[in-house]
């Protein structure tokens, strides 16, 4: 078109609506001025979530959920009778060496870690730990086998943690004939 202004390829003239004159109609000056462009707002897309928004406020942690585990004093442990046995049993009056001890500890709570020791005649022979399983209320506490001298002995099972408890039993080791 003769007399038509040319713009770089891809650009357009501003429409008369974009720069109205004070009278409401396009003016020649407005069309001759370089168009002013206002900065376009930046569009930030948020990732769409497939989860639904909760209708209630999120629940705050209760004191129960944030307080530390129960104190050890709230654990009640009971030591069941200690069994002394030999392998293989040979006499009803005495126990043949090697000697083994075992007991079960009953708890009022689950997942309690119990530390204990086996003491024979005042000397610690075994120490160990057990956890009361979640599905039970008892923990089995065996000792290892011990070669003890012939004669009377006292074995004590002593819980050292989370509370202190003990139970003792007297037994006699048979004289090995040889």
Task: Output the pLDDT for position 176.
Answer: 81
What CATH number is given for 73-173 in this structure?
2.60.40.10
Range 85-89, long-range pairs (CB < 8 A, 24+ positions): 87/145
For the whole prediction, is pTM greater than 0.75? no
Which of 144, 53, 161, 43 has the alpha carbon at shortest distance from 101? Answer: 144
d(C-alpha 93, C-alpha 165), whole Å: 29
Could you tell me the pLDDT band of residue 81, with boundaries at 50, 70 and 90? very high
Round the average pLDDT of the chain to a whole number and report it.
Answer: 75
Q: At a CB cut-off of 8 Å and minimum separation 6, what does 142 contact?
A: 100, 101, 102
Whether the pLDDT of residue 155 is over 90: the answer is yes
Whether the pLDDT of residue 55 is over 50: the answer is no
Which of 75, 100, 85 has the alpha carbon at shortest distance from 165? Answer: 75
Residues 85 and 92: beta-carbon distance below 8 Å: no
- The better pLDDT of the pair 21, 155 is held by 155
């Amino acid at each position: 078109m003769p007399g038509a202004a040319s713009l770089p390829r891809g650009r357009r003239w501003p429409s008369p609506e974009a720069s109205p004159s004070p009278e409401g109609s396009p003016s020649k000056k407005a069309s001759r001025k370089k168009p002013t462009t206002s900065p376009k707002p930046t569009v930030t897309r948020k990732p769409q979530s497939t989860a639904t928004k909760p209708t209630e406020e999120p629940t705050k942690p209760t004191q129960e959920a944030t307080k530390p585990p129960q104190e050890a004093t709230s654990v009640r442990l009971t030591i069941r009778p200690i069994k002394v046995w030999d392998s293989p049993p040979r006499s009803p009056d005495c126990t043949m060496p090697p000697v083994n001890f075992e007991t079960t500890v009953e708890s009022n709570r689950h997942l309690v870690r119990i530390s204990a020791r086996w003491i024979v005649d005042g000397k610690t022979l075994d120490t160990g730990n057990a956890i009361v399983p979640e599905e039970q209320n008892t923990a089995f506490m065996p000792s290892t086998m011990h070669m003890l001298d012939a004669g009377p002995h006292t074995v004590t099972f002593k819980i050292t943690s989370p509370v202190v408890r003990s139970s003792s039993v007297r037994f006699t080791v048979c004289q090995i004939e040889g």
